[in-house]
Amino acid sequence: MSPMANDVNRLIDMLYERIEDAKSPALKPNMSMVDRDELLDLLDELRAQLPVEIKRAQELLSARDKFVEDAKRDVDRMMRQAELDAKTKVSDSEVLYAAKEKARQMVARAEERCRQLYQVTNEYAEDALARTEEAVQMALDEVKQQRVRFRSASAAKMQEQRDKLDGRTLPQEDGGEE
């Protein structure tokens, strides 16, 4: 796992920890009071790290593509060399057959190696992208949950204040003269 992925996971762990450690108001165990600035700072940090992870995944894909292109060039070079070797050994049909067979085997090995390397790089890139996607989704889910909790807590607090105000009797004004 890359150092950046560790940073993303660390930030997500910190968010979970802050939420789990948050105190609940009396009589409202399903709600939590959290330091909004601290959580927003963590989310900002997380937001800053995610593009770095995505860039790393794109770099891996580019490296894979370059590697595949290099392997193809190697195969082409080996094919040309094999054909050249076969043409220079035209002394008799047995030697020619052996050269063609050797060239075919070399090409087959090179193609197999290219296929294996392509598969490995694809698997690695897919895994890196999946981890990045998972981290992004977890962060997004956490932000959505926090928004719902915040709205719920805010609405409850506003209702509590309204109830307090409704319970008070306001002084009545006289008509002015006694």
Contact 102, 89 (CB under 8 A): no
Q: Where are the alpha helices (DSSP H) in the chain?
A: 3-20, 36-88, 93-167
Secondary structure class of 141 (helix, strand, coil): helix
In our burial notation (b when 16+ CB lie closer than 10 A, e otherwise), range 25-57 reads: eeeeeebbebeeeebeebbeebeebbeebbebb
Show the low-confidence residues of the chain (pLDDT under 50). Answer: 178
* Model pLDDT, residue 117: 84
At residue 105, the pLDDT reads 93
Helix axes of 3-20 and 93-167: crossing angle, nearest 10 degrees: 20
What is the distance between the alpha carbons of residues 84 and 77, in angstroms, rounded to a whole number? 10
CA distances from 136 to 3, 14, 74 (A): 16, 15, 38
0.75 exceeded by pTM: no
pLDDT of 48 reads 84
Instruction: Return the pLDDT at 7.
Output: 80
Per residue in 29-70, pLDDT (tens digit) is 788 888 889 889 988 888 888 887 788 888 888 988 998 899
